[in-house]
A and B are shown apart, each in its own frame.
Chain A
Amino acid sequence: MTRSRLVVLGATVVVAAGAMAALGALYLDPARAAVGPLPPQALSLPAGTRYVMGLDVKRFVASPLYAKYAAARTSNRPQAFEELEQKTGLNPERDLDQVYIAGSQAGVPGRTGDALVVVVGRFDRAKVARAIETEKRGVTSKNVSGTVVYLFNESASGKGSGATAFLDDDTLVMGTQASVEQTVTARARGEAPLRNNAALLALLESVRPGSTFWMVGDQTLLSNMPKAIPGPGGPGTSQSIELPALKSLMVTGDLDPQVSLDITGEAADEPAAKNLADVVRGFVALASLQANQKPELKQLASAISVTTEASRVHVAARVPYEVLDSLQPRPPRSAPPRPPAPSAP
């Protein structure tokens, strides 16, 4: 066994062990049972869901952005958190794991949309239930296939403006009454209506679990997005650039150690994708050309890369926090405090 052969054998062993460990990690990973980043209980969301957003609270709280936000606001921690903790014993920073928002029509003008919020964490169910019941007024409860659903300001016709319910010990769902009830019934029957929405599942599968926040959706997510954006001349000028309709959008992002964003948009076809990519490239090039006035713009521009793959446009941005700080408009320097007026003789 010559030394060269020993090296090759050793390498094969290392690679094989690595592959075994990787396969092990792949199949034993808890997130495995679900669809992409979604936990199993979220599969009881209605089949008509057209967009889903998710926030990993644990990662968000641990991120430098939150630390910066918490440091800035230490003096007046949000009152809402204080009240919430006294009433329900729930400290969002400590107890919440994930928050998902899903719906079918996102803010269609004139209709409030049927958004649903699913909160996963550790709850003291009794305390939360009592807190909801002792809400001042308009809280009633009804039993939907064995699960208590709380309705807020239930009208005469039995329609509440909002509803909430515990899907299980660590999952709370809130939203319009219809969608909450639909979800609760599906959950009780053990169905997973979301699995029938193949398009959304495909998008969810491509989301990298473990990212701090993510968002997937088809046209409805974009329906309230502006159709045209102001031309390079600035908002006042006449010409504006038509945005090609996107069939679907997927955004994933991380906040540690820098703000990193990966946006993938599926355009109607390849030319549309190239057109959209060129628009984004135009903006990035524009930003870097104005670098001499604002050097941080150049850094921002070089942190963005745009690539097209068939009908998909992929924009990747890696923005360090110092760049973000330098981009924020500096608070107007408050006038130096005027010397106290000389006291009257």
Chain B
Amino acid sequence: MSAIPAVPAAAPADGRDVSRPVPFLRAARAVFDLSLEGMVWSRRSLLMILLLGLPAPLALVFRTFITRLPPRVGAFDFYGVVIAFYYVRNALPLAALFYATALIADEVEGKTITYLLTRPIQRVSVLAGKFAAYLATTLALALPAVVLTFFLLTTIRGWTGVGALVPDLFRDMGVVVLTLVTYGAFFTLMGVLLRRPVIPGLLFLFVWELLANAPGYLPRFTITAYLRSLIHHRPPDEGLAEIFAQVLPTALCLEAVGGMIVVFLAAAAWIFSNREYVLDQ
């Protein structure tokens, strides 16, 4: 049987360097474009859009009915409640759990992971692209609401004195970003580690993280204690839960949060790069 001449293995006409995978950033950018598509504008995001965007309409209600419905809390204190209680303690971690555990699980569950793993790109750029899409999505939903809530609440008596509160706004926006990155990294790791990360994720958020109010060293084993210490709002909490609240030094918080992000993402990348995805027929 005559031997069929093989196609020469020389570099293809378009000059791509086929001896090395596609550069990291370019690959991550392509994964980002692909992942962003179904993440923001999809029926599954409807609930997260409501959850992350809700404080803005709430602030509007507060502002327009301030005379008819005299509030118990001052405008700036309500802004503090929104940032500390609503966002950093509850809504942002929940959004992180919702999106970050799905980064890889979605593709595996939908069996579309094969398309990504049969491209000339490193697996770590797949994870990076998807993590960036997660961040873009959640920040696009949360940050505008934070800014709108701030202005709706602090300009009730006009713009005087707003200037002095602006450092608070920028610090809070920074903490919102840090919260989403930290919890995002943690739940990305959980999503890659466990087959069913939802219940463990919820138990972590609403049982383990209660340690943040415990005395002594216990709060340092949670994520929320560091993030809460970074914001300067102290909304008085119901009952005596806040009685033992301690504020960790800012430097320690930034180091801890930075360390956690690096460790979680590195672990997730390493696991994802070495795992085989045997899609059951």
Contacts and interface: CB of A to CB of B under 8 A. Distances in A.
A11 interface: yes
B14 interface: no
Interface string A256-281: 11101010000000000000000001
Nearest to A210: B161
A129 B255 CA distance: 61
A199 interface: no
A25 B169 CA distance: 12
A7 B72 contact: no
Contacts of B70: 257
Contact of A4 (B39, B77, B159): B39
B37 A316 contact: no
Interface in A1-56: 2-5, 7-8, 10-12, 14-15, 18-19, 21-23, 25-32
B164 A31 contact: yes
Given A4-B41, A314-B247, A31 B36 contact: no
A2 B236 contact: no
A153 interface: no
A290 B123 CA distance: 62
Contacts of A285: 240, 243
Interface residues of B, number: 50
A11 B144 contact: yes
A10 B243 CA distance: 41
A302 interface: yes
Contact of B144 (A15, A256, A320): A15
A257 B248 CA distance: 31
Given A4-B39, A307-B245, A307-B246, A26 B148 contact: no
A260 B73 CA distance: 9
B33 to A, nearest CB: 8
Among B148, B239, B243, B244, chain A packs the most CB atoms within 10 A around the CB of: B243
A77 interface: no
B45 to A, nearest CB: 9
Given A4-B37, A23-B166, A318 B243 contact: no
B210 interface: no
A305 B169 CA distance: 22
Contacts of B164: 29, 31, 208-210
Contacts of A284: 240, 243
Given A3-B41, A308-B246, A260 B170 contact: no
Contacts of A27: 163
A316 B243 contact: no
Contact of A305 (B37, B163, B245): B245
Interface string A186-210: 0000000000000000000000111
Contact of A11 (B141, B151, B243): B141
A254 B161 contact: no
B137 interface: yes
A91 interface: no
Given A257-B72, A309-B247, A318-B73, A32 B163 contact: yes
A309 B39 CA distance: 40
Interface residues of A, number: 52
Among A10, A301, A304, A316, chain B packs the most CB atoms within 10 A around the CB of: A316
Contact of B40 (A4, A21, A28, A306): A4
A200 B70 CA distance: 37
Given A7-B41, A15-B144, A316-B236, A254 B74 contact: yes
B137 to A, nearest CB: 7
Given A2-B41, A23-B166, A305 B150 contact: no
A297 interface: no
Given A11-B141, A303-B236, A4 B166 contact: no
Interface in B86-124: none
B236 A305 contact: yes
B165 A208 contact: yes
B280 interface: no
A317 interface: yes
Contacts of A223: none
B236 A317 contact: yes
Interface string A138-158: 000000000000000000000
A344 B249 CA distance: 83
Contacts of A108: none
Interface string B240-267: 1011111111000000000000000000
B168 to A, nearest CB: 9
Instruction: Please list the 3 inter-chain residue pairs (A to B) with the smallest Cβ-Cβ separation, ordered nearest first.
Output: A29-B163, A210-B161, A18-B147
Interface of B: 36-41, 70-74, 77, 136-137, 139-141, 143-144, 147-148, 150-151, 159-167, 169-170, 173, 229, 234, 236-240, 242-249
29 contacts: A4-B41, A7-B40, A8-B40, A8-B140, A11-B139, A11-B140, A11-B144, A12-B140, A18-B169, A21-B151, A22-B169, A26-B163, A26-B166, A26-B167, A29-B164, A210-B160, A258-B73, A260-B77, A262-B234, A281-B244, A284-B240, A302-B238, A302-B239, A305-B245, A307-B245, A307-B247, A309-B249, A318-B236, A320-B72
Given A32-B163, A314-B234, 16 more contacts: A2-B41, A3-B40, A4-B137, A5-B36, A10-B144, A11-B144, A14-B147, A19-B147, A23-B166, A29-B164, A260-B74, A260-B77, A305-B245, A308-B246, A309-B248, A317-B236
